[in-house]
Amino acid sequence: MAQREAMRDSATRPRTRAGGRRSRAASGQADCQSATGCQPAPHKTASIIGAVWAFAVLLALPLLASDTIKLRSGGKTIDLPIERYVAAVVAGEGGVLKSPAARQALAIAARSYAVRMRGRHSADGYDFCDTTHCQRADLAAITPAIEAAAAQTARQLLWYNGSVAYTPYSRDCGGRTEDAAALWPEQAAPYLRSQLDPYCVRAGSLKWQWTADPVKTAAALLRAGLRTPARLENIALTERTPSGRARTLVLSGSGESLRVSAGSFHAAVGREIGWNTVQSERYEVRGLTFQGTGSGHGIGLCQRGADQMGAEGHSYRDILGFYYPGTAVGATSRGISWQRLGGDSITLMTTQPDRDGEVLALAQTLLTALSRRTGWPAPPGIEIRAYPTLDAFRDATGEPGWVAAHTDGRRVHLQPVSLLRARGALESVLRHELLHLLMEAQAAPNLPLWFREGLVEQLNRGNAAAGSDTPADSALRQTADAKEARRAYAQASAAVQTLVQRYGEGTVLGWVRTGLPAEVTKASASQPATKSK
């Protein structure tokens, strides 16, 4: 049995999904037909709230194959289909890769980055620039092999705990990857910790050496707004990150010593003198001479190592699993680690207990109040699942984005609490689903769908205009057309309102247990909506 509640779909776009989701959708329908299921119920909303919702939903929706990226390139903004953008990034960032598996792994990392970071330059009117600030993208360098890597992994993303993972990568980690926490604390993640990389070592990590010219280097530092001794005589490495990379340097000369972050030093020298000077933070420095290994920041996927893994027969899944441990590859969300919060009669499953915890208290309060009003006792074992992302919700329930919640048995699946709250819909959605739970625990087996949905809406909101038509089950059940669903639900609610006016709420509530009286069944059976098949 499935009870659902619908939301406006003004913001959501129809999505085509991979096979996994379709089969889930199909099984959801089977639930519904095999028992006494009911379907999307529309909630009327003020358009201003709809607009806020639209924003929130767009933020939460992953990209689709049909979506486009606004790329800033050569002074122009161009719209690129996502897979074209992915190919351009594999060409721009991974042109040296030889193994198909490494190209495929990079394509998934590049796509995940695009989905997660989309709109990085939204203030400037586009999504991404084509430099390493975002991802280097080079349309002219796309080869058939690169195009194939994008196509073979089309729509696949890297997931962690139900959300798209943050997927940095660099050229060559030199034998040990860096912890994201060391460079970008806000991007720290369990799958971005420092680890040994035997693969790039086996492939022969880059070894480089560079001696700083004191005059040019001091000038570069000054142009970058950094302080430097007038006469640069010595550079000392005084602090390292946990992976052993340089964190802080002390520049000395002319009797003074100045601290500078290794990252700022690297950026200033790279921009002003060239990127073939200091190539990574993995170095020793003596006097003014740097000796280092690797190239790039070293966080996440190491391209040299990935290429070696591919050459040794590993798949792109192996490569992604090695460089982003604990993540999962898929077209839809993967790997939610639930935490259980226990209440008196409701259990809340969440990935963010701090944030979603108050939903449990709210649901308890609502359940008690609704049970008192209807006289229906709360069944044991109610579970509410608050999904971390819209995509995770849709993947688990097979529902379109305009459906806010979904109940099967005693389990309520909720869209992310933050989204429902942003739309001002959280309480109403919870009430709707809890009313279904209370009702279904007593409902007569032949209670019609329109009556169940109409009564829930009446009890939840009341005051619908009265009406006499009852919607067809098929109109309530379908999930293809949000407008039709809203119309059908409004009709069901109006039909129940008419019954409440004629017979009184107490009598109508009693019919949940006894079934509808013959006079009501006959009247609704003669309605045009049910007749037209």
Which residues lie near Zn ion (CB under 5 A)?
3, 41, 129, 133-134, 173, 197, 200, 302, 305, 453
Choose between 197 and 281: whose C-beta lies nearer to Zn ion.
197
The letter for the amino acid at 24 is R
**Residue 157: what are its φ and ψ, rounded to 5°?**
-130, 165
Angstrom distances, CA of residue 58 to CA of 10, 38, 74, 79, 415: 10, 27, 28, 18, 14
Choose between 214 and 292: whose C-beta lies nearer to Zn ion.
292
Choose between 127 and 334: whose C-beta lies nearer to Zn ion.
127
Q: What gap in Å lies between CA 113 and CA 120, rounded to an integer?
A: 11
Choose between 129 and 422: whose C-beta lies nearer to Zn ion.
129
DSSP labels, 343-355: -SSEEEEES-HHH
Choose between 56 and 134: whose C-beta lies nearer to Zn ion.
134
**Residue 258: what are its φ and ψ, rounded to 5°?**
-130, 135
Choose between 412 and 417: whose C-beta lies nearer to Zn ion.
412
DSSP labels, 267-295: HHHHHHH-TTSS-BS-EEEETTEEEEE-B
The letter for the amino acid at 38 is C
Q: What gap in Å lies between CA 396 and CA 25, rounded to an integer?
A: 9
Closest approach of Cβ 468 to Zn ion, in Å?
21
Choose between 40 and 229: whose C-beta lies nearer to Zn ion.
40
Please say whether the beta carbons of 67 and 507 come within 8 A: no
Q: What gap in Å lies between CA 237 and CA 517, rounded to an integer?
A: 86
Closest approach of Cβ 253 to Zn ion, in Å?
35
Closest approach of Cβ 302 to Zn ion, in Å?
3
Tokens of 247: 């964190």
Choose between 20 and 462: whose C-beta lies nearer to Zn ion.
462
Please say whether the beta carbons of 177 and 191 come within 8 A: no
Q: Residue 314: CB partners within 8 Å, gap ≥ 6? A: 101, 322
Choose between 2 and 221: whose C-beta lies nearer to Zn ion.
2
Please say whether the beta carbons of 302 and 105 come within 8 A: no
- Quickly tell me which residue has 């032949």 as its tokens: 446
Choose between 128 and 159: whose C-beta lies nearer to Zn ion.
128
Closest approach of Cβ 43 to Zn ion, in Å?
10
Closest approach of Cβ 220 to Zn ion, in Å?
23
Choose between 173 and 341: whose C-beta lies nearer to Zn ion.
173
Q: What angle do CA 135, 183, 320 make, to 5 degrees?
A: 55
Closest approach of Cβ 205 to Zn ion, in Å?
7
Tokens of 474: 């098929």
Closest approach of Cβ 260 to Zn ion, in Å?
25
Rg (CA), the chain: 29
Closest approach of Cβ 197 to Zn ion, in Å?
3
Choose between 351 and 458: whose C-beta lies nearer to Zn ion.
458
Of 480, 478, 431, which Cα lies nearest the Cα of 459? 431
Q: What gap in Å lies between CA 329 and CA 112, rounded to an integer?
A: 10
Please say whether the beta carbons of 514 and 472 come within 8 A: no
Of 526, 474, 530, 462, which Cα lies nearest the Cα of 500? 462
Q: At what angle do helices 303-311 and 100-117 cross, to 10 degrees?
A: 140
Closest approach of Cβ 392 to Zn ion, in Å?
21
Closest approach of Cβ 429 to Zn ion, in Å?
10
Closest approach of Cβ 40 to Zn ion, in Å?
7
Specify the 3-state DSSP secondary structure of 238: strand
Find the length of the chain: 533
Closest approach of Cβ 115 to Zn ion, in Å?
16
Alpha helices of 70-99 — where are they, by DSSP H? 82-94
Choose between 214 and 298: whose C-beta lies nearer to Zn ion.
298
Closest approach of Cβ 493 to Zn ion, in Å?
10
The sheet that has 157-160: what strands, in order across it? 163-164, 157-160, 328-330
